[in-house]
Amino acid sequence: MDCNFCGENVPRGKGKIFIKKTGETYPFCSSKCERNAALGRSARKVQWTMTSRIVRGKEKK
């Protein structure tokens, strides 16, 4: 399972899963990712995320 914010792998039994009333699940690898998502920050603009690294050409999928 991948983190909903940063894209890193979340090992089984680690991290948190936020579940909406609609049944959608949002796995997070750390509280850092959870807080950034709650603040409405875009993962593309936060430089330490995997999504940002792919967009900037520093990392491949």
User: pLDDT, tens digit, for every residue of 13-55?
Assistant: 999 999 999 999 999 999 999 999 999 999 999 999 988 988 8
61 occurs within a structural domain = no
45 occurs within a structural domain = yes
60 occurs within a structural domain = no
What pLDDT sits at residue 59?
A: 81
Token pair recorded at residue 40 = 């409405």
43 occurs within a structural domain = yes
Are 34 and 57 in contact by the 8 Å Cβ rule? The answer is: no
50 occurs within a structural domain = yes
Which residue range(s) make up the domain with 24?
Answer: 16-55
33 occurs within a structural domain = yes
- Distant-in-sequence, close-in-space partners of 4: CB < 8 Å, separation ≥ 6: 18, 26, 27, 28, 33, 37
- Name the more confident of 60 and 18: 18
- Distant-in-sequence, close-in-space partners of 12: CB < 8 Å, separation ≥ 6: 1
User: Global pTM?
Assistant: 0.81
CATH number of the domain where residue 39 is located: 2.30.170.20
| Count: domains in the chain | 1
4 occurs within a structural domain = no
What torsion, rounded to 10 degrees, do the Cα atoms 25, 34, 30, 52 define? 100
What pLDDT sits at residue 42?
A: 94
Residues constituting the chain: 61
